[in-house]
Amino acid sequence: MEYKKNTIYSLTIIDADMDGNGVGKLDGFPIFVKDTVIGDVAEVKLIKVKKNYGYGRLIRLIQPSANRVEPYCDVARQCGGCQLSFYSYPEQLRFKENKVKNHLERIGKVTDYLLRPIIGMEDPFHYRNKAQFPVGRNKEGKLVTGFYAGRTHSIIEHKDCMIGCRENKAILEVILKFMEAYQIEPYQEETHTGLVRHILIRKGYYTKEIMVCVIINGKRLPYAEELAERLKIFERITSIMVNCNQEKTNVILGKELITVWGKDFITDFIGGICFQISPLSFFQVNPIQTEQLYKKALEYAKLSGKEIVWDLYCGIGTISLFLAQKAKKVYGVEIVERAVENAKENAKRNQIENVEFFTGKAEEVFPAWYRKYQERADVVVVDPPRKGCEEGLLLTIAEMKPERIVYVSCDSATLARDVGILDGLGYRLVEATPVDMFPQTVSVETVVMLSHKNPTV
Ligand code: SAH
């Protein structure tokens, strides 16, 4: 039977793909449908038909699945940022656990390992310590902040994101009122005119300090002191800044920063270690789960105080400093120079002296260092970006023959690929723990431990 585009069919959702889309079948022909949950019976309009599968849009639920919940957010479908907001939280966790299991077993081809239950959150909302809201005018010309409607740059008004901090809404309202009072125009991408592009808000989880940073297409925000006066009603705001970005770009932040009021950073802690966070610093966005993740990484590293550890892709040195408390020496490698400077400052601030940081590509710095000094590591930790590790790096690690490798990953597919490669190089996957760093979304963080199949005693 032939299925036609723009025709409406009724469909039972029997599966979900890795991106959280429901999958139903029309006589065996798979149809992927966004915003549906396993168990839904739905009217679906076919929007694209390929040779072996198609895509449909949810038109109406005929019979909602027992696993479906009403999203906590009324713009969940339009925004698309929280792909799993239609799933109950236990179902979200089950989805992610399965995703990791499937990847490890299908791509990595591993079977004999322990998969620990995913570490979920007690309260899976309002966990993000950072938010960036675009500012613009909506279709009616009203000054708004919110999010870009799926794949476009038109803004849908929304100030109260379910995964962001509770303070965001009130802060955004003050800034919009200020812009209206002083006739400060929002930035318009098409014409590269107007001033205010984005508003960045960061909050320290333990310290509760808040930073507000207004990103402008210019060198100066007029009446900035007046804005500071208005924002000072929020006692917890300790830093008000302006960031200048006059480029025609999708990149949100520019390089130049102006401090309008207060400090030019906020402070926060991970596992008792203190970090200073500037608008430009990379800092994990879910502080509660970051601590869980690092604790697991530390447990997998099994440190006694005598070990030499490498932390590859170390960012601002968060994992390195966490591990240094239990190791003899930790070496960190990171490609972004500014992050390495932050890592060094963080070490100093916390009086941690048994760490050393290098700037460069992990796949270059680490092999070069090993060739030069021939010093073995006992444990190697890697935390690469989504694309995973370069094969050459894995080869050097295997050559160095550490007892254990701890792999922290934000993409279980590339993790599984690399676990498969390491298996061929003499490392067995012992244990894996998924961590829910990004509730409501399809992303899942995983930490695994591999150990050498024939350790040198
Ligand atoms: N471990 C840190 C950061 C992890 S994010 C934390 O938990 O906070 C991954 C980091 O890898 C980023 O900081 C990115 O800048 C860095 N990176 C990307 N490619 C790299 C490469 N080839 N070599 C070294 N670092 C790299």
Please tell me the residue having the least CA distance from ligand 1 atom 6: 315
Q: Is the CB of 317 under 6 A from ligand 1?
A: no
Say if residues 58 and 66 touch (Cβ distance below 8 Å). Answer: no
Enter the pTM of the model.
Answer: 0.92
* C-alpha of residue 334 to centroid of ligand 1, in Å: 6
pLDDT at 103: 97
Candidates 194, 205, 200; CA nearest to 246 is 194
Distances (CA, A) of 269 to 206, 209, 273, 343: 7, 11, 5, 14
Task: Indicate the top mutation candidate among 318, 333, 334, 341 to test ligand 1's pocket, ranked by most ligand atoms within 8 A of CB.
Answer: 334
How far apart CA 75 and CA 272 sit, in angstroms, is 37
Q: How far is CA 220 from the centre of its chain?
A: 31
Task: Indicate the top mutation candidate among 294, 313, 361 to test ligand 1's pocket, ranked by most ligand atoms within 8 A of CB.
Answer: 313
For 379-416, give one letter per residue: b (16+ CB within 10 A) or e.
bbbbbbeeebbeeebbebbbebbbbbbbbbbbbbbbbb
pLDDT at 1: 63
Candidates 418, 433, 345, 425; CA nearest to 109 is 418
Q: Which two tokens stand for residue 151?
A: 């794949």
pLDDT at 281: 85
Nearest atom, ligand 1, residue 315 CA: 13
Let me know if 456 is exposed, middle or buried by CB neighbors in 10 A (0-12, 13-18, 19+): exposed
Beta bridge partners of 55: 32, 48
* C-alpha of residue 58 to centroid of ligand 1, in Å: 38
Q: Is the CB of 361 under 6 A from ligand 1?
A: yes
Please tell me the residue having the least CA distance from ligand 1 atom 22: 361
Q: What pairing do the DSSP bridges indicate for beta strands 266-270 and 256-262?
A: unpaired
To which residue do tokens 């006992």 refer? 378
* Average pLDDT per consecutive 10 residues, the chain (457 residues; last block may be shorter): 85 92 93 94 94 94 93 86 92 96 97 97 97 92 88 84 95 97 95 96 96 98 97 94 96 95 95 91 93 97 97 96 96 93 95 97 94 93 97 95 97 98 97 98 97 81
How far apart CA 161 and CA 439 sit, in angstroms, is 13
Nearest atom, ligand 1, residue 339 CA: 13
pLDDT at 79: 84
How far apart CA 237 and CA 171 sit, in angstroms, is 10
Q: Is the CB of 323 under 6 A from ligand 1?
A: no
213 given a catalytic annotation: no
Q: Is the CB of 293 under 6 A from ligand 1?
A: no
pLDDT at 72: 86
How far apart CA 229 and CA 221 sit, in angstroms, is 14
How far apart CA 430 and CA 434 sit, in angstroms, is 14
How far apart CA 166 and CA 169 sit, in angstroms, is 7
How far apart CA 125 and CA 96 sit, in angstroms, is 17
Q: Is the CB of 319 under 6 A from ligand 1?
A: yes
Q: Is the CB of 367 under 6 A from ligand 1?
A: no
Let me know if 345 is exposed, middle or buried by CB neighbors in 10 A (0-12, 13-18, 19+): middle
Say if residues 86 and 61 touch (Cβ distance below 8 Å). Answer: no
Q: Is the CB of 362 under 6 A from ligand 1?
A: yes
pLDDT at 391: 96
Please tell me the residue having the least CA distance from ligand 1 atom 3: 315
